[in-house]
Chain A
C-alpha cells in the first residue's frame, strides 16, 4: 500500500483499512443491476452489475468504448437500457430520484454566456432548491471552489480549469445524495487534480457514494475504496484493489539473490519463471505451491536480499483483466 493511498483512506475516516463500510448499510446503496444496451448491432453493455455503498468511492475503469459513459448515462436517464436498472436505496431511479444526484458529464457543458453565479444557482434550482436557497448555495460553492472573484463573469471568459470548477460546483451545489462523475479528472493540472480529489473525498466523508470513471489508474488506486474494471461491456472485475490482487490466480514472488546460480528455481513444483535478470528473479506460483520451498531453494543458491510477494499495480490488474476474455465471454 502506497503512502498516498494510506492518506486517502485516513481522509475517508470511518472506513477500515480493508475498505469495507462498517456502518450498517441500511439499503443506502447505489446499485447498477444487469445493464444491457445495444446501439444497432453494436453491443455496448452486456450485463453491467456493481454497487456502491454510501461514503465510498467507486472507481470505474475500462478502455475507451468499454461502456463507462453509457452506464453512467443510463443512470442519469439519458440512455434507455435494453434491460436492467439502476437503483438507489432499493428504488429504481426516476426523475425525482435523479434530481438528488450530482452529475458531471464526460462532455463538459455549461451555458457559455451565462454568469458563473447565476449558472450555478440555476442548476441548484433545477435540482429542486428554492430561489433563496439556490442563490445562497451558489455563493457558497463558488466561494469554496475559489471562484468568488469570477462570480459575475460569463463562463466563456474563464480558463478551462476554472470552467471545470464551475462544472463541479454545478454538480455539488444541490448537496446531492449521490455523485456520478464521468472522467472528472481529465484535463486538470496536478493542482487541480489534488483539489478535486480533496473535494470528492470530502463528499465521501459526508456519506455520499461517489462513482467516477477515469483513465488515471494511479489516481483510482489512490482514492477509491473499490474499483470496477469494464471490458467489452462486461464488468470483468469488481472489488477493492486488495481483493482484486488476491483474486489474481498466479501470484508473483520476487526473489533477489545477487550471486544466484542460473536456473536455481527450476524444478520447484508449481513454480514458473517469469523473468530472471542478474539475480533478480520473478516467479509465478500456482495455487497451493509452497513459497517456503522456494525460499529454501533460494537460500541454497546464495544470500537472499529480497523475498516478497509482488503487488501488481492497478495498471497490471487492468491490463490482465482487459486483455483476456473471461471464460463466460469465450463460452458466449
Chain B
C-alpha cells in the first residue's frame, strides 16, 4: 500500500524515543508549572536584588537666595552620604512652597540675610538634614576662616587602602555560583523525578514489552535521558540567559564577564551532572513497578544530591578547605561543589580537568552497569527488585 518500512538506525530509534519524551513532557502540567515557578522565582529575586541595591538615594533641594558655593557644598555632602543631590534655583519662598507641594523638589533651603531655613513637606529625613547641615556648616566655617584671614587650610586627607580590592566582585561571583548550585540541585531533582516517573509509567502500563520488541533497552534508556536532557538543558540555558541578562540590565553586577563565566560553568556542569544522575534515577526506578514505590528507591540518590548541595554551599565560605577540595573531585558531588570553588577561589586548571575526567568515567560506568540492571529489571513486574536479581535476569 504505502511506504515500505525502512530499517532504523540506533540513532533514529533513540531520536524517536527522545522526541516522544519531549512532546509528552511539554504538554505535562507539572512540567509547565515547575518551569513557570522557576522563572518567576528568578525574576522575583532579581527584582528584589534591584530594590535592595538601589543604594544611591536621590534628593532634589530647592534653593532660594544666592549663596556662592552652596550647590557644590550640598553635592559634596551628598556624595559622602551616598545621596545624589541636585540643587534647583527657586525665585522666592512662595515658589519654594509651591515646588515642594508639587513634589518638584523634596525640600527647599531658604537663605535670608545669612539665616538658613529648610522647608520640607512633613519632616526632613536624617540624611537630608545631615547634608544640609553639613553643607551650611562647611560654607559658614570657610566664610569665617576667610574673614579671619586664614586660607589654604591644610586639612589632612585620609587615604583608603583596600586589603581585598576584589572582594566585592568575588562575593558577587560566589552569590552567582551558589544560585547556580541551587539551580543545578533543583533541576537535577526535578528532572530525575521526571525520568523516574517515566520509567515506572512504562513498566506499570506494560508498554515497555511492546517497546522492547522493537528496540534494545539501552536505546530506550538513551532516548529517555536525551529527550528530557534537551528539555533540562533548554531550561537551565533560558534561566542562565534571563538571569545574567537581567543582572546586567539592572546593573546588579560590576563585572558582567565574571558572571557570564560562572553561568557557563554551571551550565556545563549541569550537562555532566544530569547524565550521571538521570542514569541513576532511571535505573533505580526500573527496580519498582508502581509510582508509590519510587520514593524508597530514589531516596539514597536524593540524599547524595542534598549532601552535594550542602557541601557546595560550605565551599563558598571555604573554597580551599580540605572538604571542598576533596569533594570537588568526587564524581557526583563535583558538579555542585566545583563551580562554587571556581567562583569563590583559585582552582588550578588540572583540578577542574581531573574532576571532569572522573565524572566522565563515572558516567560511563553508571551507564554500562546501570544499563544492564535496567535491561534485566524492565520486564520483571511485581514488588521491588534487588539490583543483584536484575543483573542476573539480564544475563538470563
Q: Which residues of A contact B (CB under 8 A)?
A: 39, 73, 76-80, 95-96, 98-101, 103, 105, 107-114, 122-123, 125-130, 132-133, 136-137, 170, 174-175
Contacts and interface: CB of A to CB of B under 8 A. Distances in A.
Given A99-B7, A105-B209, A126 B396 contact: no
| Interface SS of chain B | loop
Contacts of A110: 205, 207, 210
B2 A123 contact: no
B7 A77 contact: no
Interface in B200-221: 201-202, 205-216
B207 A109 contact: yes
| Interface SS of chain A | loop
B6 interface: yes
With a 10 A CB-CB cut-off, give which of B20, B209, B396 has the most chain A CB atoms. B209
Interface in B241-295: none
Nearest to B209: A105
Contact of B209 (A99, A109, A111, A130): A109
Contacts of B381: 107
B5 interface: yes
Contacts of A109: 205-210
B1 A175 contact: yes
Interface of B: 1-3, 5-8, 13, 16, 20, 24, 201-202, 205-216, 379, 381, 396
Contacts of A101: 213
B389 to A, nearest CB: 11
A50 B120 CA distance: 104
A128 B2 contact: no
Contacts of A174: 5
A332 B202 CA distance: 41
Given A129-B3, A175-B1, A77 B396 contact: no
B16 A76 contact: no
A14 to B, nearest CB: 20
B210 A130 contact: no
Contacts of B379: 73, 78-79
A107 B24 CA distance: 23
21 contacts: A77-B212, A78-B209, A78-B213, A78-B379, A80-B396, A95-B214, A96-B7, A101-B213, A103-B213, A107-B206, A107-B209, A110-B210, A111-B202, A111-B205, A122-B20, A123-B210, A128-B7, A133-B3, A137-B2, A170-B210, A174-B5
A267 B211 CA distance: 64
Contacts of A126: 8, 13, 16, 211, 214-215
A122 B16 contact: yes
A332 B16 CA distance: 49
Contacts of B201: 111-112
A96 B214 CA distance: 8
Contacts of B5: 99-100, 127-129, 174-175
Contacts of A39: 396
Given A98-B213, A109-B206, A110-B210, 9 more contacts: A73-B379, A111-B202, A112-B205, A122-B20, A123-B214, A126-B8, A127-B214, A129-B5, A133-B3
